[in-house]
Amino acid sequence: MRCDLAVIGAGPAGLAAATRAAEAGLAVELFDEQPAPGGQIYRAIETVPAPRRALLGPDYAAGAALAAAFRASGAGYRPGALVWNVDSQLNVDFSQDGRSRQCRARAVVVATGAIERPTPLPGWTLPGVTTAGALQILLKAQGLVPAEGVVLAGSGPLLLLLAEQLTRAGAAPRAIVETVPRGRLSAAARHLPAALRAPGYLAKGLAMLRALKRAGVPFHRGAEALAIEGADHAEALSFTAGGRRQRIESRLIALHQGVVPNQQMTRLLRCEHRWSDGQRCFLPVVDDWFESSVEKVFVAGDGAGIGGAKSAALRGRLAALGALRRLGAGEDKRLAGEAAALRGALDKDGAVRPLLEALYAPSAQILAPADDTLICRCEEVTAGALRKAVALGCPGPNQAKSFLRCGMGPCQGRLCGLAVSEVIAAERGEPQQTIDYYRIRPPLKPLPLAELAAFDVGDDAGDEAGDDQDAA
């Protein structure tokens, strides 16, 4: 199986990239784990009932046009396909319907989006504790809302958006416990003039706050020292705010501290990454066409840095233009003109990001969790155990695997990677760029051994399949 361009991920970036490339005449294959296009932001966009679409708002509804354009583009589409490896020859290994196959691509667009930042704090592994993103997925896909009031804790635009959506659905949160420190808004205000270039985002944020105030949702600001109480199940969230210890009873608590790029695929491909102080995470290094340090591998959407759905689609189109340029499938002058217009739109849409990054930086508590807080959920490793390993000479996340098995559980580091890097960097007094991140190896997610044993790349996959990266 062969294609000109393999696109991994069917969110706004992947849909835009696949559509633009297919319309230009490339043979495109889009791979996505979900059963329908849209990604997390536009989940179930093709089948959502009209009342739920109205509840989720116009930003969500905008995804319908992207999905329709993709369906009409002629691009190949493989829903329910888990891409578990891409090697240095751009052979894409994927699992679909219980069988693994390989597609040999001439170029690849990684559009795997973002994941929620790990939020290690006392009690975060108890049943009844979830994330804001998980609750929003249930709302979008099945129209499900909590039967009893949920407590939302953390910070970020998604927390406010979810609170407003739940309120409109008749399931207003019991409380919002926001961890933005007092005085943070004043410090972030220096970014306000630039953010006014994209006033729509500011207007939406103010509208959400007004709606929550009208609904009477309790709002606790400047919260610190969060802890989830309970023996076998979450029972309450306790925190300090306004100079006193407070406690809110709830058996459902949703945490959120922003989102970060899902870097598993770009790490697997050995793309260069750089630490971003603004986004407090690693970002793949890309050029103006969103091509990574690995030739013919492009990174689009939030996987290249958090920018939101509109920016993700713009980046997807730019990545497609970059692939056309790389593969000699378009006139350079025409591609350059189209790219210039997209970059202008991207610059304007991203004008609000520095303000949001400064205002909603992750809380100090999750960057430096207490010693008795679990940091690696899969292997039940505490932050204190990790600090002791550093004191014994552990220099980085990959060595922590040998010391403690950190990052070696079913999540393969997705839930602990950034937190582990943060703790090690702080303990060693070294920058995160030096400490770096886990070395990611295939398969990217667990596969049945029987399926792996039966995997046959086929004669059309080329002799380069199974290179030394696969064995590393």
Tell me the CA distances in angstroms from 420 to 33, 255, 258, 285, 417, one per residue in order.
27, 19, 17, 22, 5
- The average pLDDT across 419-431 equals 98
- Considering Cα of 13, then 157, then 352, then 426, what sign does the dihedral take? negative
Whether 459 shows a pLDDT value over 60: the answer reads no
Residues 335-389: pLDDT tens digits?
999 999 999 999 999 999 999 999 999 999 999 999 999 999 999 999 999 999 9
pLDDT confidence tier of residue 427, bands split at 50, 70 and 90: very high
Class of the CATH-defined domain 2-113+262-330: alpha beta
Encode pLDDT of 135-159 as tens digits: 999 999 999 999 989 999 999 999 9
Given a contact cutoff of 8 angstroms between Cβ atoms, the answer to whether 249 and 259 are in contact is: no
Q: What is the mean pLDDT of the segment spanning 399-424?
A: 95
pLDDT in tens, 286-341: 999 999 999 999 999 999 999 999 999 999 999 999 999 999 998 899 999 999 99
Which regions of 318-448 does DSSP assign to beta strands (E)? 374-376, 381-382
Backbone angles phi, psi at 125, to 5 degrees: -95, 0
pLDDT above 50 (res 466): no
pLDDT tens-digit map of 209-242: 999 999 999 999 999 999 999 999 999 999 999 9
Residue 77, classified by CB atoms within 10 Å of its CB into exposed (0-12), middle (13-18) or buried (19+), is buried
**What value does the mean pLDDT take over residues 192-220?**
96
Distance CA 113, CA 6 (A): 16
Domain boundaries, the chain: 2-113+262-330, 118-258, 368-449
What's the rounded mean pLDDT across residues 399-404? Answer: 96
- Name beta bridge partners: 31: 8, 78
| Same fold across 2-113+262-330 and 118-258 | yes
pLDDT at position 409 over 50: yes
Yes or no: say if 380 and 374 are a contact pair by the CB < 8 Å rule.
Answer: yes
Asked whether the beta carbons of 36 and 140 are under 8 A apart, the reply is no
CB of 90 closer than 8 Å to CB of 297: yes
DSSP alpha helices (H): ranges in 126-219? Answer: 132-142, 157-168, 184-188, 192-195, 199-214
Would you state the pLDDT for residue 461?
44
State which fold the 118-258 domain adopts: FAD/NAD(P)-binding domain (3.50.50)
The residue among 349, 381, 126 whose CA lies nearest residue 237 is 126
Res 457: pLDDT: 80
Give CA separation, 111 vs 192, 361, 468, in Å.
Answer: 30, 24, 25
Residue 55 has pLDDT above 60, yes or no: yes
- What is the CATH code of the structural domain delimited by 368-449? 1.10.10
Contact between 105 and 5 under an 8 Å Cβ cutoff? The reply is yes
- Looking at the predicted structure, is the pLDDT value of residue 32 above 60? yes
Is residue 229 within 8 Å of residue 236, measured between CB atoms? Answer: yes
The reported pLDDT for the residue numbered 468 is 37
pLDDT at 454: 93
pLDDT tens figures, 108-136: 999 999 999 999 999 999 999 999 999 99
Cα torsion at 255, 261, 266, 272 (round to 10°)? -120
Per-residue pLDDT at 330: 86
Contact 460, 2 (CB under 8 A): yes
Residue 471 — pLDDT band, cuts 50, 70, 90? very low
The least confident of 18-22, 163-167, 464-468 is: 464-468
